[in-house]
């Protein structure tokens, strides 16, 4: 139930693509971790001319015109962040700008989407393995609950300042791309110096005021009895340990921008892996200490391990960037010089003229997250439950989002002229239909197999059957809102391709307040508990998606709501048939496998459950698509044309 701001769109894309304009029609040589790589860059100046002009306009924008020029300020509401997926890894940004840049005009959307989706799958699998480890070791106890609260502030800075296409990344890359290479070193070092002073002081303040900060957005912990007090103490300890992430996040953002300027685009994809590996390693060491009778209690050692793993993961990301920059001839050190002369440098002023308004705008990101955790703090164990359920929805939804939205962004941008409005309308229809076809199937599978999925992935050791039941119920409610979440994300990108940042922004602000009100009603008055928070998220996602579609239909007559009645009804019917078939096959197949097993060990039952789930899911997918083929809706032809389209 957090909000994710994406500063992506024609301007953001222009900033990243313009870094290559200086190297067009030539062999570009760069070094990655000491390895020299040469690549031929094709001449695209003609097609990128408009984007480059947008980039120049964006780079010089003032705060007063930020929302009219900058794009997009995107606040799609998704689920509550998981214990390890709470923005500390930027999975949602994986293969974003880089993927768009690397899209060849000769590749079809299906092929490009498959490539991007495959890359994202690797990141999601590591995140899922990490969460499985945390569930087995800590369950839904105070350690994971405390981490959910303590990671809010570090996650905010890591996603905001250290994220791909975040303010630091975009500002640094744009500024460097317009300057001779000989000026890059001084600019990078000067910006780093200012960052070290400001963010270093901020990190110290977070560590010093950890307790009042935590009480501000999780007041329920202080009045929830002894269990809440334990969670609060652990969260304060974790927040102090993770306070350096504020400084590290800014340095990571500078590193991403610098690497983009010198033509290194693959490194950001390693960030989620480093975070996951670091956290799992720290948890393994902590568990061994406790098993051997270490002095620390299991709760305290686990809390320290999670927080230290997060901080070490951020440090590892920055360290890898530093090594790569050094190998390319850029020493990532701080150059303080004379403080009074720092902001007299044109490059520094340009970087911060873009950075400050973008940071303020992106700060809206945490409003919904703080709201959700504010109410979750009054519900014992809610933060951990929401985190696990959200992960299981966002893993497949993130893959679909990357595979569909990233390659469609350049399509929308090229068709933004009034003369191409009918073509853009057709592409929007195709994109929405493709999103609905895939997410309806995903929803059918998650709703049908919520229990088995949670049981297979998480139920072991500290994560017992009661926890599985609670997470399964939340997973169902999250899944029901997935179609609207992905559709809203696509519609937001359409608005920004048309140069309209106001409609998505104000719609998102309205969604924030609606989410607050619904959270308050569901938890404080109706007593729905954690299910109420998830239900509020799904309802807000639905309403905001419908509102955006209705507003967009004023510009594109073919997108009126009545057009979508037939495809939604057909997809809903097909998904229902698929879900019922899936559960029937699963139940019968599992019974047969269990009865034929030689033994009834836990491992044998787990294997039987897994095989039954895979086969039943395959049957469900077959039934779903066969039902669509049987009815032969004209919308299917529209989607096939999109898959064959050139990006």
Cβ atoms of residues 304 and 150 within 8 Å:
no
**Pick from 82, 100, 151, 152: nearest CA to 471:** 82
Say if residue 11's pLDDT is above 80. no
| Average pLDDT, integer, range 398-427 | 76
Unique residue bearing structure tokens 């049987």: 630
- Apex 575 CA angle, 570 and 581, nearest 5: 130
Average pLDDT over the chain reads: 72
Interval 179-217: pLDDT, tens: 677 777 777 777 777 778 888 899 999 999 988 988 888
| Average pLDDT, integer, range 461-484 | 89
Say if residue 18's pLDDT is above 50. no
**pTM tops 0.85, yes or no:** no
Say if residue 264's pLDDT is above 70. no
Element (H, E) at 503: helix 502-520
Q: Quote the CA–CA distance of 413 and 433 in Å, as a whole number.
A: 19
Interval 546-559: pLDDT, tens: 999 888 888 887 77
Say if residue 82's pLDDT is above 80. no
DSSP classification of residue 180: -
Positions of E strands within 343-390: none
Phi, psi of 6, deg, nearest 5? -120, 115
Alpha helices in 77-160 (DSSP H): 97-102, 109-138, 142-150, 152-160
Comparison of pLDDT for 601 and 556, the residue scoring more = 556
Burial class from Cβ neighbours inside 10 Å (0-12, 13-18, 19+) for residue 630 reads: exposed
Interval 626-639: pLDDT, tens: 988 888 766 666 56
For residue 293, the model assigns a pLDDT of 52
Q: Exposure string (b/e) for 335-367, b if CB count within 10 Å is 16 or more?
A: eeeeeeebeebebbebbbbbbebbbebbebbbb
Residue 55 token pair = 């980039």
Would you tell me how many other CB atoms lie within 10 Å of the CB of residue 292?
7
Element (H, E) at 169: helix 167-177
CA 262 to chain CA centroid, Å, is: 25
Q: For residue 36, what are the contacts with CB-CB under 8 A and spacing of at least 6? A: 29, 30
- Reported confidence tier of residue 87, pLDDT bands at 50, 70, 90: very low
| Average pLDDT, integer, range 439-461 | 90
Q: Quote the CA–CA distance of 223 and 578 in Å, as a whole number.
A: 46
- Reported confidence tier of residue 441, pLDDT bands at 50, 70, 90: very high
Interval 44-57: pLDDT, tens: 333 334 433 433 34
**Pick from 84, 237, 215, 235: nearest CA to 146:** 235
Say if residue 482's pLDDT is above 80. yes
Percentage of residues in the chain with pLDDT exceeding 90? 12
- Apex 548 CA angle, 546 and 550, nearest 5: 70
CA 449 to chain CA centroid, Å, is: 24
Cβ atoms of residues 300 and 147 within 8 Å:
no
For residue 507, the model assigns a pLDDT of 84
**3-state SS class at 40:** strand
Q: For residue 365, what are the contacts with CB-CB under 8 A and spacing of at least 6? A: 2, 3, 4, 5, 75, 156, 159, 160
Q: Quote the CA–CA distance of 306 and 563 in Å, as a whole number.
A: 49
Cβ atoms of residues 453 and 415 within 8 Å:
no
Would you tell me how many other CB atoms lie within 10 Å of the CB of residue 225?
10
């Amino acid at each position: 139930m957090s909000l994710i701001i994406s500063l992506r769109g024609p301007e953001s894309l222009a900033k990243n693509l313009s870094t290559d304009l200086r190297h067009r029609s030539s062999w570009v040589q760069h070094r990655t971790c000491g390895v020299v790589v040469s690549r031929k860059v094709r001449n695209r100046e003609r097609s990128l001319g408009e984007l480059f002009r947008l980039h120049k306009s964006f780079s010089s924008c003032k705060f007063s015109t930020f929302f009219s020029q900058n794009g997009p300020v995107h606040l799609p509401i998704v689920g509550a962040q998981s214990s390890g997926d709470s923005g500390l890894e930027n999975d949602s940004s994986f293969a974003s700008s880089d993927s768009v840049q690397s899209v060849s005009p000769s590749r079809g959307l299906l092929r490009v989407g498959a490539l991007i989706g495959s890359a994202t799958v690797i990141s999601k699998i590591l995140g899922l393995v990490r969460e499985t480890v945390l569930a087995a070791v800590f369950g839904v106890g105070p350690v994971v609950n405390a981490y959910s609260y303590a990671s809010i502030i570090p996650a905010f800075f890591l996603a905001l300042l250290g994220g791909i296409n975040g303010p630091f990344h975009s500002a640094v890359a744009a500024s460097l791309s317009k300057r001779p290479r000989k000026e890059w070193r001084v600019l990078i070092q000067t910006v780093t110096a200012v960052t070290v002073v400001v963010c270093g002081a901020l990190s110290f303040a977070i560590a010093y005021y950890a307790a009042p900060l935590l009480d501000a957005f999780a007041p329920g912990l202080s009045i929830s009895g002894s269990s809440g007090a334990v969670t609060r103490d652990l969260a304060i300890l974790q927040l102090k340990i993770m306070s350096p992430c504020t400084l590290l996040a800014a340095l990571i953002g500078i590193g991403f921008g610098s690497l983009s300027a010198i033509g290194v685009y693959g490194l950001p994809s390693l960030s989620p892996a480093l975070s996951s590996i670091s956290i799992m390693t720290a948890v393994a060491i902590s568990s061994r200490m406790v098993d051997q009778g270490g002095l620390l209690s299991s709760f305290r050692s686990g809390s320290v391990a999670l927080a230290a793993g997060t901080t070490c993961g951020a440090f590892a990301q920055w360290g890898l960037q530093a090594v790569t920059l050094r190998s390319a001839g850029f020493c990532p050190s701080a150059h303080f010089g004379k403080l009074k002369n720092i902001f007299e440098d044109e490059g520094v002023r340009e970087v911060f003229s873009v950075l400050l308004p973008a940071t303020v705008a992106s700060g809206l990101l945490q409003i919904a997250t703080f709201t959700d955790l504010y109410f979750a703090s009054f519900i014992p164990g809610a933060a951990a439950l929401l985190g696990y359920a959200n992960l299981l929805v966002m893993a497949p939804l993130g893959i679909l989002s990357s595979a569909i939205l990233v390659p469609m962004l350049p399509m929308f941008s090229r068709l933004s002229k009034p003369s191409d409005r009918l073509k853009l309308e057709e592409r929007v229809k195709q994109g929405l239909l493709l999103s609905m076809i895939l997410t309806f199937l995903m929803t059918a599978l998650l709703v049908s197999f919520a229990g088995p999925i949670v049981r297979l992935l998480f139920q072991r050791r500290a994560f017992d059957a009661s926890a599985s039941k609670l997470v399964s119920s939340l997973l169902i409610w999250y899944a029901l809102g997935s179609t609207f979440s992905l559709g809203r994300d696509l519609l937001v990108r359409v608005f920004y391709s048309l140069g309209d940042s106001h409609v998505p922004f104000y719609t998102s602000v309205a969604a924030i307040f609606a989410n607050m009100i619904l959270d308050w009603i569901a938890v404080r008055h109706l007593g729905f508990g954690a299910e109420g928070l998830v239900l509020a998220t799904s309802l807000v996602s639905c309403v905001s998606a419908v509102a955006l579609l209705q507003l967009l239909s004023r510009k594109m007559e073919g997108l009126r709501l009545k057009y979508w009645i037939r495809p939604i009804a057909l997809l809903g019917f097909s998904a229902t048939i698929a879900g019922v078939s899936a559960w029937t096959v699963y139940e019968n197949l599992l019974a047969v496998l269990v009865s034929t097993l030689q033994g009834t060990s836990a491992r044998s039952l787990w294997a039987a459950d897994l095989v039954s789930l895979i086969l039943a899911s395959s049957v469900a997918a077959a039934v779903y698509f066969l039902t669509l083929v049987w009815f032969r809706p004209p919308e299917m032809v529209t989607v096939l044309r999109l898959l064959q389209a050139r990006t």
